[in-house]
Structure 1
Amino acid sequence: MNDPRDDLDGLLSPVRDLSLSAVLEELSRAAFHGYDCQTDIGVRDKDGALERTLLLNLPRRYDLRARRQDRTSCIDVVDGRIIGFDPHDLTLDDGTCVRIRAFKWNDACFRFRTNDARPDWRPVRRWYLEAFQKRFGDNPDFAGTVHSLADPIRHLDGRWELRVDFGSAPVAALGDFLMSLRMVGVRYGIDLGEPTPDARADDETEAG
């Protein structure tokens, strides 16, 4: 039986490639000006330890570090481009439906409801810590690793929101992330993509 996540590669590889191309463009510009550059750089505090998020206690990475003599810059590349495509429905092997709309690889927004009011996020943490490890793969300029997972936000209608910067991780990492959400106890389905205007209006009304 085919894994439904296998469908993701053809759909999402262009989304990933667009994000990586933006980093490579920034790397090329920095190198042209004499900077020595590295990608997928861990964010560290003044003592050299990896900085971590508050709730999930997770490290994160910058897209790029550029050094020239005594000057160092750490950069997260901002790119306003997005690849549009028609909404795509993916059904996981347990019947969970995933609706995928256009999104940015370095700022993927997942929204969902859970069976428990206070979910156990440990499956998500385990996925992230595994995906955070460097694995050089299809492109020697990158380490094949995720960059960040923001702490979960709960909206007033009960939906949770998680934002992931998939960095240079392969498309398979996104499929594995969906499986980790399933283990958290997703109810009804998962929505991947920026909220629609109606959804944003609902959030604003509830927050008010």
Structure 2
Amino acid sequence: MRVTDEMLDLLEPVRDLCVADLLAGMGEALNDGGEVDAEPVDRDADGHIRRAPPLNLPRRHDFSVRAHGATILRRTSGRAALRFAPVTTAVDDRAAARIAPFDWAAADIHLVWDGPGAPDWTPLRRWYLEWFQARFGEESPDLLGVVHALHGPRADAAGWRVTVDLGSCSVRGFGAMLAALARAGFRDIRIGETEDAL
């Protein structure tokens, strides 16, 4: 999906708030004398990448700090979502997304499902794995431009629900996520404080 100027104006401040928290946490750790690694992949004690069901996806931590011979994995605390009036945007010629205030590091997504059988989650999984890969950019040069985690999908009364930690992913990556959900067959995508609209 093409990310419009209106979507950039809406979503960049949401992303900026999350990224600012992440950079502030890293800065504090550096000031305390630690060695900081931005957005490391979650690994087990043997160095193997951990993967989480049901989509068998890896995840990232916000950052790690090495000090006094030990490495500690850190997650920023996050803040309340920025307030804005919910907006609806076309994803393609069949699907639309309603975007209400949400936390970039914990985007709650409701997916209304009226198709036969279960959705094909392959497009979402492919989107995640693509945007899990480091892609340095001018938006946040000290970060990797990646998603951190995807929880779900899990069934709910309206269809399905996922929660995505978008990490330092760009707004363009957010648009690519919406397009992936549309390719999965969802026509009604609701992000953020949308329970009253179900």
Whether the TM-score (by the shorter chain) exceeds 0.5 is: yes
Cα deviation code 1:46-96 (max 9, x no counterpart): 221111111100000000111113121111111133211001110122131
Q: CA RMSD in A?
A: 1.6
TM-score (norm 1): 0.88
| 3-state SS in 1 of match to 2:21 | helix
| Aligned equivalent of 1:37 | 36
- Indicate the residue corresponding to 2:146 in structure 1: 145
List 4+ stretches of structure 1 deviating above 2 A.
none
Q: 1:36 to 1:146 in 2, by over 3 A?
A: same
Does the CA-based 8 Å contact 1:107-1:164 persist in structure 2? Answer: yes
Structure 1 contact 53–151 (Cα < 8 Å) conserved: no
Q: How far does residue 113 in structure 1 lie from its aligned partner after superposition?
A: 1.9
Q: Does 1:99 align with 2:98?
A: yes
CA distance in 1, matches of 2:90, 2:161: 20
The alignment of Structure 1 onto Structure 2 pairs a total of residues equal to: 195
- 3-state DSSP of counterpart to 1:42: coil
Q: Give, in angstroms, the shift of residue 154 of structure 1.
A: 0.5
CA distance in 1, matches of 2:27, 2:132: 25
Matched with 2:117 is 117
Could you tell me which amino acid in structure 1 is paired with residue 28 of structure 2?
R
State the 1:195 CA deviation. 4.1
Distance 1:76 1:194 in 2: 23
| Partner SS for 1:67 | strand
Note closer, same or farther for the CA distance 1:79–1:25 as it changes in structure 2 (3 Å cut).
Answer: same
Contact 1:88/1:100 (<8 A) preserved: yes
Equivalent pair of 1:40/1:61 in contact (CA under 8 Å): yes
Q: Is the 8 A contact 2:111 2:190 kept in 1?
A: yes
Q: Partners in 1 of 2:128 and 2:16 — Cα distance?
A: 21
Decide whether the 8 Å contact of 2:135 with 2:145 is kept in 1. yes
Give, in whole Å, the separation in 2 of the partners of 1:98 and 1:82: 18
Q: Helix, strand or coil: the match of 2:119?
A: coil
Q: Secondary structure at the residue paired with 2:173?
A: helix
- Please say if residues 92 and 182 of structure 2, whose CA atoms lie closer than 8 Å, have aligned partners that are also in contact: no
Instruction: For residue 4 of structure 1, report the CA deviation from its aligned partner.
Output: 5.0
Aligned equivalent of 1:12: 11
Residues 105 and 165, structure 1, Cα contact 8 Å, conserved in 2: yes
Which 5+ residue runs of structure 2 have no aligned equivalent? none
Deviation of residue 158 (structure 1)? 3.8
Contact 1:5 / 1:92 at 8 angstroms: preserved in 2? no
Structure 1 residue runs of 5 or longer lacking an equivalent are 203-208
Q: Is the 8 A contact 1:107 1:166 kept in 2?
A: yes
TM-score by length of 2: 0.93
Identity %: 36
Q: Which amino acid aligns with 1:130?
A: E
Which SS does the other structure have where 1:120 is aligned? coil
Answer yes or no: is the 8 Å Cα contact 1:131–1:173 preserved in 2: yes
